[in-house]
Amino acid sequence: MSVLIEGISVVILNSTINKKYKGGFAKYKQDFINGTFCTDGQLVRVGFMAPPDVGRFIMNLEKQGFIFKQGEKSVDVSVIDQVEGFTIACDWLTLQRTPDGVAFCSLKGMKTDKIAVPNGWKLENSLSKKFAKVDNNNVEGRLQHLRTDGSVDVFLDKQTMKEVFIGRTSKENHGMTNIADFLKKGAELVNPYIFLTDRNASDIESVDGRKNIKQGIEYLELVTQLDTQNWAAYWFLGKTQQALHNDEKAYGYFKSAFEINPNHPDVCRELMMTCLQLGKTDEGLLAAQSGIKLAPNDPGLLANLSLALFLNENLAQAKMAAEQSLAQSPSDPITKNLLMMITQVQNGKRKQPRKISDLMRAG
């Protein structure tokens, strides 16, 4: 058996989790079911989209006694980039690829007849397919740098034979000639400024913030031009517009990501929240329902479903979903507050809200 490697993956032995993680494997699985979790019974893998998120995750593990590395070798935790491979040498794992370009890893010396994948994962909508598509279409080296006009780099797209223009902040553009490079760099530039749980975003209005956001958007937009099915680029563009408080633009990008890949919880979640911000409650509910199908017992997705049902005036089912979420995560203050508001509407003590901003009003 083996586990899928996509994006930036963190792989740990099940036995190490049982030994070092408070609550063992069952608690780890409960804490980190995020649509990327998978296990083959020996290895556990979770995935991330950007390096800073991996860094925070590793720091949390180290606080519980996990050892990331000693010298230049992985100890308890291995971090693997889908494109570049092991970030640090690991002598207990083997990394391979299928003929379709899907990366997977297994314990050294173990048979690799089957790959464990996250619930709901499908090759046609996956990051593996996107990167495989780049290789199969010979996009490596597809962009040829022609010249620099002031602060703009001009490339030739050798597939379409058209010029592509990219704003330049440094000479690094010259070394990036494929889709994977531009996606990775674009994501790295915008990531500090987008809204994510358990962290404060950097100041998007600072000089560096404005510069990085502008450049990151250009890179990500280029990805969508070269690969119209690259859902990850649309997702990052949506998160960027969300950080800029451009809800309509964010909605357009999240909708594109969802149409390409409705099988990723983060895609479902962001489309749902943006729809509910804009009062598009029917569409928001559909996105929430798609998310809960991927992980029916995930407390966060249950809370999302409850919110969408609440704003759709389906109070009984909204209350049921909130109670199910609290059964999984009893101390969550946001879901507790949501359940209280649902009950207030049922009792006639609060007006029925139709979008998220309505929840801010008193009674």
Domain map of the chain by residue range?
Answer: 2-119, 136-260, 265-360
Cβ neighbors of 251 (< 8 A, separation 6 or more) are: 238, 271, 274, 275, 278, 280
Residue 59, both tokens: 């720091």
CATH level 2 (architecture), domain 136-260: Alpha Horseshoe (1.25)
Ranking 135-144, 226-235, 254-263, 274-283 by mean pLDDT, the lowest is: 135-144
Q: Whole-angstrom Cα distance, residue 79 to residue 231?
A: 23
Q: What is the mean pLDDT of residues 325-331?
A: 92
Higher-confidence residue: 362 or 14?
Answer: 14
What are the start-end ranges of the H helices in the chain? 14-20, 24-31, 51-63, 127-136, 179-190, 207-226, 231-243, 247-260, 265-278, 281-294, 299-311, 315-328, 333-346
pLDDT recorded at residue 151: 47
Residue 133 has pLDDT above 50, yes or no: no
Q: Mean pLDDT across the stretch 190-199?
A: 86
Distance CA 320, CA 356 (A): 20
Read off the pLDDT of each residue in 6-11 and give the average, rounded to a whole number: 91
Q: What is the mean pLDDT of residues 111-126?
A: 85
Residue listed under structure tokens 């009003």: 361
Residue 177 has pLDDT above 70, yes or no: no
Can you spell out the DSSP letters for 302-319? HHHHHHHHHHTT-HHHHH
Indicate the angle between helix axes 247-260 and 231-243, nearest 10 degrees.
160
Q: What per-residue confidence (pLDDT) applies to 170?
A: 44
Dihedral pair phi/psi, residue 113, rounded to 5°: -85, -15
Tokens of residue 318, six digits: 């909204």
Q: CA 225, 231, 235, 241: dihedral to nearest 10 degrees? A: 30
Q: What are phi and psi of 174, to 5 degrees?
A: -65, -25
- Report the alpha-carbon angle 104-129-7, nearest 5: 55
pLDDT band at 182 (very low <50, low <70, confident <90, very high): confident
| Threshold 0.85, pTM exceeds | no
Query: Considering the chain, what percentage of its residues have pLDDT values greater than 90?
Result: 56
Predicted confidence at residue 171, as pLDDT, reads 44
CA dihedral 119, 125, 126, 130 (to 10 degrees): 180
Mean of per-residue pLDDT scores for the chain: 86
pLDDT for 164 = 63
Most confident of 47-56, 165-174, 277-286: 277-286
Q: Strand pairing partners for 5?
A: 103
Residue 137 has what pLDDT? 39
Fold for domain 265-360?
A: 1.25.40
Determine the average pLDDT of the residues in 109-128. Answer: 84
Q: What local confidence, expressed as pLDDT, does residue 275 receive? A: 96
Which tokens hold the place of 185?
């760099």
Output Rg (C-alpha) for the chain, integer angstroms. 22
Domains 136-260 and 265-360 share a fold: yes
**Cα separations (Å) of 50 from 3, 53, 60, 128, 299?**
20, 6, 16, 16, 24
> Distance between CA 354 and CA 265 in Å, rounded?
23
Does residue 121 carry a pLDDT above 70?
Answer: yes
Give the pLDDT of residue 71: 85
Predicted confidence (pLDDT) at residue 287 exceeds the cutoff of 50: yes
Q: Poorest-confidence range of 5-19, 65-79, 178-192, 238-252?
A: 178-192
When pLDDT is averaged across residues 36-59 and rounded to a whole number, the result is 84
The residue ranking higher by pLDDT, 96 or 34, is: 96
Give me the pLDDT at residue 335, please.
Answer: 95
Quick one: tokens of 71?
């010298």
**How do residues 240-279 score in pLDDT, each as one tens digit?**
999 999 999 999 999 999 999 998 989 999 999 999 999 9
Please report which helix (H) or strand (E) contains residue 46, including its range.
Answer: strand 43-48
